[in-house]
Amino acid sequence: MKPFNPVQPRIRAWIAARPPYDSVLHRALRRSLNADRRFFWQIPGLGTVLALVTETGLAARVTSGCSKLEEYAKHRKYEELIMTSKKKWLLLAFAAMTVAPITFGSLKVSSLSAEEPAAPANAPVTVSLDYDKEALQEAVDGILKAKEEAGADFEGDTAQVTATITQQIGLTTITYDGIVSQEVAADGTVGPVKADSAQTYADYTADNVWMMVATFLVFFMHLGFAMIESGLTQAKNTVNILFKNTMIIAIGLLTYAIMGFNLMYPGDSWISGTWFGFAGFGLESQATADTSILYYDGNYPYWTDFLFQGMFAATAATIVSGAVAERIKLHAFIIFSVIYVAIVYPIVGSWEWGGGWLNAASFAESFGGEFVDFAGSTLVHSVGGWAALAGVLVLGPRLGKYVNGGINPIMGHSMPLATIGMFLLWLGWFGFNGGSVLSGDPAGVSYVLVTTSLAAACGIVGAVITALIITKSPDLSMALNGALAGLVGITAGADGVQIMGSVYIGLISGALVVGSVLLLDKLKIDDPVGAISVHLTCGIWGTLAVGIFGTGAFMAQLIGVLAAGAFSFPIALILFLALKFTIGLRVSEEEELKGLDLGEHGQEAYSGFQIINVK
């Protein structure tokens, strides 16, 4: 005889209260209790689950699920699944186990409500104020004295002093600057002490979340660079290009952590005027890093600042990678990238973003205004573009590019990859420019995203029209680079130009990138992906355009562009020449013809496939 099961009476009661045979579940339960009990109750835990289902609001879900399974089975003509008793039990067991996690989750919520009251929706908040009470009282006394002198003409006033406000929200302690005030009414009544701040913990959290999302988008740009560079070059060099782009993000983050961040943002640790400063090696420790709301106007903490800026650092080396593709030695490129990203990029960036001489009031007075580079048309893109130009000049063109005084196009192997790369970069640029607002300000961020997108769209139009006029064909590679040209062009002034200004900047950038690509070919300067034209030519144009369409002074913009070039290009040229005459810069002719995938890596991107060029 089967031992008594305590859940059976509850199931029987539930079945009795339901219309007979209205679902698979009812039929299965009745049959289990009346006919084939031994099989049914031997299913581990099934009885308990079904009893719990009957006592929660989820029984309908089980019956509905069983009915749908039955309809599906009939539709598939598996009649034996419906008619076979033990298979039906398996069907029922499956349905019960499907809802078991939901069931137990609901029971857990119910038990919390009954036995362990959940935490209130609003965590307890306490606020403490640190301010000069004597100063506040003196200010109040001064107002009261003014009231006596003014007599009936006194309309009231407010005494204010600065304060440090500490807010305890649950387990989180936030400290930020604010104002403590006391209002003196017209009749001389002194009100209570009040505290206020322009920044709240909710604002701080929202700003930081947006900055982290922007960081993720900029990180995603490196996939875009890898795709467009791979697509616009030959298949035999794809592994080499992907490897370089993989190494670049590692080089950028690590060198920026070791020294680049403190070179770019030296604070008060300037060594040579405001041209060169260094705040020391490495990042702050977890204990000393400023994660309070006081860091950078309460928009984000120290760690977000580092990670967002670190993603920018690797971009400069990525630009170089495309220009020198298909003929540079891997180890030479890596050595160059480490030095350039660790030292040159952050020093140039410190001149403006780190509070250096381009950001000084004396510079603005001398040149009619301050230098403006919102997200880095010069500080990121031109710095990378100058290095790319230096590398191409030292390396020389690829084999077979310029033959018998003519230009022999070396086509990219995958325009789909290149197109994917462009759209990934456009997506990432929403973080590149949008994140450079350095807060989650709705109006500021949305405006920047609008000008960024319009410039990219107009860049495509400008490039396509120019290519049609000059080459008589709608060149896809020109359209792709036109979009990137518009994005680079608007980067310097995305927050300060008018809407029509972003349109003009994009159109001119698109035209410039086509003209620049063709001009470099005429000069026999071989850039496989158009990186120099996109990042250097349009980076310069975009920076100068702020002085035409935006808030900057043209002369100040020109001085900034020339200074970045005068510093970046010679250093890059020296580095490439030093590498050329020491460890060697260019691969052998045999290796270049065979492909860097096999020559440098012993791998193939498309192993087992034969790539055939049809001309």
DSSP assignments along 469-506, one per residue? HHHSS--HHHHHHHHHHHHHHHHTTTTTS-HHHHHHHH
Same domain membership, residue 546 and residue 440? yes
The residues, any chain, with a CB within 8 Å of residue 412's CB and separated by 6 or more, are 231, 232, 233, 234, 418, 477, 528
Instruction: State whether 460 and 478 are in the same domain.
Output: yes
Measure the N-to-C terminal CA separation of the chain; round to a whole number of Å.
86
- CATH code at 267? 1.10.3430.10
Give the integer Cα–Cα distance in Å for 172 and 91: 49
Residue 200, pLDDT score:
65
Model pLDDT, residue 27:
53
- 216 and 194 in a common domain: no
Range of the domain at 237: 210-601
The gap from C-alpha 437 to its chain's centroid, in whole angstroms, comes to 13
Output the pLDDT for position 404: 87
Record the tokens describing residue 474, joined without a space: 């709608």
Residues 6+ apart with CB under 8 A from 355: 265, 274
Q: Calculate the alpha carbon distances from 492 to 346, 361, 367, 405, 481 in Å.
A: 17, 20, 18, 38, 18
Residues 157, 97 share a domain: no
Domain membership of residue 35 (yes or no) is yes
The model's pTM: 0.71
Distances in whole angstroms, Cα of residue 67 to Cα of each of 27, 79, 98, 142: 11, 14, 14, 81
| Amino acid symbol at 252 | G
The one-letter amino acid at 502: S
User: How many folded domains does the chain comprise?
Assistant: 3
Give the Cα separation of 456 and 460 in Å (integer): 7
In a shared domain, residues 158 and 91: no
Same domain, 291 and 401: yes
In angstroms, the Cα distances linking 68 to 32, 80, 259 are 20, 16, 62
Cα–Cα distance between 307 and 427 in angstroms, integer? 19
Is the same domain home to 368 and 312? yes
pLDDT number for residue 122: 42
Question: Would you give the DSSP letter of residue 3?
Answer: P
Could you tell me if 451 and 597 lie in one domain?
A: yes
CB 99, CB 53: distance < 8 Å:
yes
**Contact criterion met (CB below 8 Å) for 382 and 562:** no
Conformational region of residue 387, where left means phi above 0, alpha means psi within -120 to 50, and beta covers everything else: alpha
Report yes or no on 350 lying in a domain.
Answer: yes
Tell me the residue type at 226.
Answer: A
Are 452 and 492 in the same domain? yes
State the helix-helix crossing angle for 8-16 and 24-34, rounded to 10 degrees: 130
Write down which residue in 97, 115, 133 finishes a domain.
115
| Residue 612 is assigned to a structural domain of this protein | no
Taking 50 as the pLDDT cut, the residues of the chain under it are 1-7, 10-11, 14-15, 18, 20-25, 28-29, 32-33, 35-46, 49-50, 52-66, 68-70, 72-123, 615
